[in-house]
Amino acid sequence: MFILKIPTIHCQSCAGHIRQIIQKHQPDASITIDVSKKTVTIRSLEKLLPPKLLNELKNAGYEATF
């Protein structure tokens, strides 16, 4: 499980965009996004998040930290 902090989440539209990016890289992951806490929880069998995922989030304006 990974918990990302993404301070630029402002609304459900942002959450939807973030969800699409994550699903592109980890299609089998379970994703929970809490807009009010500005967190994204990813449950996956993967032990590491793909660097391309974090880069794509950043390029879309959603820089994520752990």
Handedness of CA 51, 41, 35, 14 (dihedral sign): positive
Which structural domain range is residue 39 located in?
2-59
Q: In the chain, how many domains are there?
A: 1
Output the domain CATH number for residue 54. 3.30.70.100
How far apart, in Å, are the Cα atoms of 12 and each of 18, 24, 46, 48, 55?
10, 18, 26, 26, 21
Q: What is the pLDDT of residues 4-22, one digit of tens each?
A: 999 999 999 999 999 999 9
Q: What is the pTM of this model?
A: 0.93
* Per-residue pLDDT at 58 exceeds 90: yes
46 or 61: whose pLDDT is higher?
61
Q: Find the length of the chain.
A: 66
Q: What is the pLDDT of residues 18-55, one digit of tens each?
A: 999 999 999 999 999 999 999 999 999 888 888 999 99
How many whole angstroms separate alpha carbon 6 and alpha carbon 27? 20
Q: Is 32 helix (H, G, I), strand (E, B) or coil?
A: strand
